Amino acid sequence: MCGRFDLHSETKVILREFRVDSFSTDYHPSYNIAPSRRIVIIKDDGKKHIVQCMWGFLPSWVKDPSMANKMINARAETVAEKPAFKDSFRHRRCLVVADGFFEWRRQGKRKMPVYVRLKSRSPIGFAGIYNTWTSPEGESICTCAIITTEANDLLEPIHDRMPAIIPKDGEDLWLDPHITEKERLMPLLRPYASEDMEMYDVSPLVNKPGYDSPEIIIPDKG
């Protein structure tokens, strides 16, 4: 699964990397993004827009917003069929913008955090789906889940899943709202190339969801 990630790139870098037409949200870098937080996503309605969305998916029929914490991820193998996700998979796909993500390596009885990013240190786009949920009070809220896939060779020793990272040459296809065929979309949800990624130990400070500082992603010397 993906349960924690970060985004700290400058706005101009995000705009350049994803060729975005507009950035219609207040953006604040965060080094420790946890579920239920506001995240930055890219969606396409004829033009690419960066907007804010809550991390935690809510189908239209859900009444209790706390259910979002149970649907922060959607499995690539079932996202096109599950009743909660299938309509968004066909019509409301997005990229969740990140610089990297965290996993935990078991060391004896402890779990120690590691940070995973591209070797190029460029921002990445996780495959995501979103839905606009309307609360009982009539408030419209963008909600989102990150799609996960099998781990690549880099991650496999510590976890069997990883976020599905959409390659640059597949981003336009993934975002295109006119493309709904599962056969065209599923090949994008494969494990990302291990040789293009790196992983290293970081401070246990990331275990505290409220702690948000650049030191979280500094390599831990032990």
Q: What is the DSSP string of 50-94?
A: EEEEEES---TT---GGGGGG-SEEETTTTTT-TTTHHHHHH-EE
Range list of H helices, 142-205: 171-175, 182-185
- CA angle, residues 220, 158, 202, in degrees to nearest 5: 15
* Segments in the chain below pLDDT 50: none
Catalytic site includes residue 103 = yes
Q: pLDDT, tens digit, for every residue of 27-52?
A: 889 999 999 999 999 999 888 989 99
Q: What is the pLDDT of residue 27?
A: 85
Q: What is the pLDDT of residue 64?
A: 82
Active site residue 2: yes
Q: Residue 1's pLDDT is what?
A: 61
Report if residue 219 sits inside a domain: no
Single out the catalytic residue among 2, 94, 142, 144.
2
Flag whether 69 is in a domain. yes
- In this structure, is residue 214 part of a structural domain? no
Burial class (CB in 10 A: 0-12, 13-18, 19+), 208: exposed
pLDDT value at residue 107: 82
Residue 22 is predicted with a pLDDT of 73
Q: What is the CATH number of the domain that holds 12?
A: 3.90.1680.10
What's the total number of domains in the chain?
1
Domain containing 14 equals 5-208
pLDDT of residue 161: 96
Could you tell me where the DSSP H helices lie in the chain?
11-18, 86-91, 171-175, 182-185
Query: Could you say which of 10, 77, 94, 103 is catalytic?
Result: 103
